Amino acid sequence: MTDLRAATPLVLVGAGKMGGAMLAGWLENGLDPKGVVLIDPGPPPEMAALIAARGMTHVTAPPSDLKAAVIVLAVKPQVADAVLPGLAGLVGPGTVVVSVAAGKTLERLEAGIGPAAIVRSMPNTPAQVGRGITVAVANSRVTTPQKVLVTALLAAVGKVEWVAEEALIDAVTAVSGSGPAYVFHLVEALAEAGRRAGLPDALAEKLARATVEGAGELLYQSPLDPATLRKNVTSPNGTTAAALAVLMGETGLQPIMDAAVAAAARRSRELAG
Ligand SMILES: NC(=O)C1=CN([C@@H]2O[C@H](COP(=O)(O)OP(=O)(O)OC[C@H]3O[C@@H](n4cnc5c(N)ncnc54)[C@H](O)[C@@H]3O)[C@@H](O)[C@H]2O)C=CC1
Ligand SMILES: O=C(O)[C@@H]1CCC=N1
């Protein structure tokens, strides 16, 4: 288990779906709830329950008497600019700010909060079960120990990759940040196709869900690459081959995925503000 003691006091700004998923993962991994301060005027009910159950400090505005070790900014990009100046007082000489806000550039973040060590990162919600992946980029003020600390924090909820080129984060957002939604939609679409093929509702849902769960777990545990795993399902001239002729055809999944990822990356660039 990662030692997260150096990450406190940790101020989490925005304890919604992403901030909450990371927090749940950190608590699972031993983060001391007494070292956590949550700033959120309206957390979702399940988060409010977790805050109460674990005795975390919950405020609706930044406290004036605290210097944070880590500030995690997990509010919507559209409210980040308004929130950042109010967080400046929490920044001390050792503080590192970690933003998960889609689109918000390091330059824009620093313009809001003032001179600070800042990491722009893109996690995803499987962080909640310790199976996220986060890609991060640091500004020039981030020290090596701060990078080690942020890596420990992010690694507590999944895999971590650092990039030197900030522009890559828009494509990262489009692939892994938003990606879980594409997979969940695949479950919805597979279930719907099953219903249209005559399966009862509950069975169609159960089959689609279990198939994606199982395929994901196989991918996780297997040393084989996805193409080989796919080929292992595909008998020559069998049922899978018939389906893949559609999915891998000219109007199949690849052009749709290309368009979806391009749209998400474009939106990430727009969200810079
Ligand atoms: N949901 C996801 O899968 C991912 C989200 N992100 C990023 O995470 C950020 C948050 O997104 P979600 O968690 O999905 O949104 P959300 O709406 O679930 O959570 C945002 C939280 O911020 C709180 N909030 C609003 N105004 C605030 C303020 N002035 N001060 C403090 N807290 C305030 C809200 O009450 C809410 O609990 C966004 O910037 C998004 O781009 C990044 C990766 C994945
Ligand atoms: O949809 C969004 O904008 C955020 C960023 C990645 C996932 N959710």
For residue 273, the Cα-to-chain-centroid distance in whole angstroms is 20
Asked if residue 114 lies in contact with residue 136, where contact means CB atoms within 8 angstroms, the answer is no
Q: Mean pLDDT, to the nearest integer, of 121-134?
A: 96
Is residue 273 over pLDDT 90?
A: no
Tell me which residue has its CA closest to atom 3 in ligand 2: 102
Strand, helix or coil for residue 50: helix
The tokens 């004036």 sit on which residue? Answer: 64
Kindly state the tokens that stand for 170.
């828009």
Which strand (E) or helix (H) includes residue 208? Answer: helix 201-221
Is residue 2 over pLDDT 70?
A: no
Instruction: Determine the topology of domain 179-270 in CATH.
Output: ProC C-terminal domain-like fold (1.10.3730)
Provide the pLDDT confidence category of residue 271 given band limits of 50, 70 and 90: very high
For the CA of 82, the closest atom of ligand 1 is 29
Q: Is residue 76 marked as binding?
A: yes
Given the DSSP bridges, would you call strands 117-122 and 68-73 parallel, antiparallel or unpaired?
A: unpaired
- In this prediction, residue 29 carries a pLDDT of 87
Instruction: Determine the topology of domain 7-171 in CATH.
Output: Rossmann fold (3.40.50)
Q: Mean pLDDT, to the nearest integer, of 86-109?
A: 98
93 alpha carbon to ligand 2 midpoint, in Å?
Answer: 31
Pocket of ligand 2 (CB under 6 A): 102, 173, 177-178
Strand, helix or coil for residue 57: strand
Cα distance between residue 31 and residue 70, in whole Å: 12
Q: Mean pLDDT, to the nearest integer, of 41-48?
A: 94
Q: Is residue 74 marked as binding?
A: yes
For the Cβ of 126 lying below 6 angstroms from any atom of ligand 1, the answer is: no
Cα distance between residue 103 and residue 78, in whole Å: 10
pLDDT digits (tens, 9 = 90+) for 68-87: 999 999 999 999 999 999 99
Tell me which residue has its CA closest to atom 1 in ligand 2: 178
Q: Mean pLDDT, to the nearest integer, of 249-265?
A: 97
Q: Is residue 148 marked as binding?
A: no
Tell me the ligand closest to 174's alpha carbon.
2
C-alpha distances in Å from residue 91, one per residue of 121, 245, 267: 18, 56, 30
- Residue spans of the domains in the chain: they are 7-171, 179-270
